[in-house]
Amino acid sequence: MSAERVSSAPGTISATVLGRIAPGEDLFAAVREICTRHGIRSGHIATMIGSLRSADVVCVTPDPDNPGRAVYLEPLRMEGCIELITVAGIIGEDDRGELSVHLHGVLAGSDMKPVAGHLADRGENRVLATAEVVINGFSGAEFVRSFDEETGFVLFKVRPTGP
């Protein structure tokens, strides 16, 4: 496999930040605020748990117009009392230098049936009671998100930073 097909670079965890997100706040905006406040431009969500009052979840599916490719389904809108069982995520910059957050999660409504997928950054993943998050920032390597011609998605690639 070529370096273009599998990007990688050695990095270290340079910071660990603990955060609590209050009721009514959007998860994506809050994670960006925490990262900005603590100088994190690349990292990952080590863990996040809590509850939401609303969530937009999407999942990948085959593209009916282009066999061999995939598209995202329209977001599943969840509202009410939602348990945020777990969230994993990547933090980096997009090709314009803006902070970009990519979150996947497992959630459950009051019926206790799990729903899993990609949380859509539409400003509507609102905290119900609390969300607690642990974020690790990286040095030596970074994630950069840009449009990927092969897949048609906006994806992260890895590149080394500094000397």
Task: Quick: pLDDT tens for 14-48.
Answer: 999 999 999 999 999 999 999 999 999 999 999 99
pTM: 0.93
- If you average pLDDT over residues 48-52, what whole number do you get? 98
Q: What is the pLDDT of residue 119?
A: 98
Residues 6+ apart with CB under 8 A from 120: 56, 57, 58, 75
Q: What is the mean pLDDT of residues 135-142?
A: 97
Reference 55, options 130, 12, 105, 113; nearest CA is: 105
Task: Convert 73-121 into a string of H (helix), E (strand) and C (coil).
Answer: CCCEEEEEEEEEEEEEEEEEEECCCCEEEEEEEEEECCCCCEEEEEECC
Residue 23 confidence (pLDDT): 98
* Cα–Cα distance measured from residue 119 to residue 26, given in angstroms and rounded to the nearest whole number: 11
Tell me the CATH architecture of domain 13-160: 2-Layer Sandwich (3.30)
Query: For the chain, how many residues are written?
Result: 163
- Digit-coded pLDDT (tens) for 58-77: 999 999 998 888 999 899 99
103-136 per-position pLDDT tens digit:
999 999 999 999 999 999 999 999 999 999 999 9
